[in-house]
Amino acid sequence: MAVQVEPAAIQVPASGGNVSLQLMNGNPEVRFAFKLKSSNNEHYRVNPVFGFVEPGAAAQVEVIRQNGPPKGDDKLEICFAGAPPDAGDAKAISLLDLLASSRSTFLWLLHEYGCGTMDKDDG
């Protein structure tokens, strides 16, 4: 997979907190557009939701957990697809291309009370 996520899972208190992710593009020639989707939009925010990862570079994403009851199955889906070098707005990249792309990865959002576990490789 050309885009890797570090760390592969994060742990934040159910009372709230922030964590930074790195989306790393291991392909020296292809620019990727990304979109993040959360299974729990009530308690999680991400910034940016859309963006680009330049060839051979990394993009930073901030994950913000709002105070709320813990759940053990929260996750982010990170969808990505090849993007033209001259594309200026990641949100303008066809959402269908991003969502239909076979290139996606899941990041489990773990918190201090009850944790999700990954039983299979989804990416």
Over residues 9-47, the pLDDT tens digits come to 888 888 889 999 999 999 999 898 888 888 889 999 999
Q: What percent of the chain has pLDDT over 90?
A: 31
Maximum CA extent, the chain: 45
Which residues, at least 6 apart from 7, have a Cβ–Cβ distance to it below 8 Å? 21
Q: How is domain 3-111 classified at the architecture level of CATH?
A: Sandwich (2.60)
Q: What are the sequence ranges of the domains in the chain?
A: 3-111
Question: What distance in Å separates the CA atoms of residue 13 and residue 105, rounded to the nearest whole number?
Answer: 23
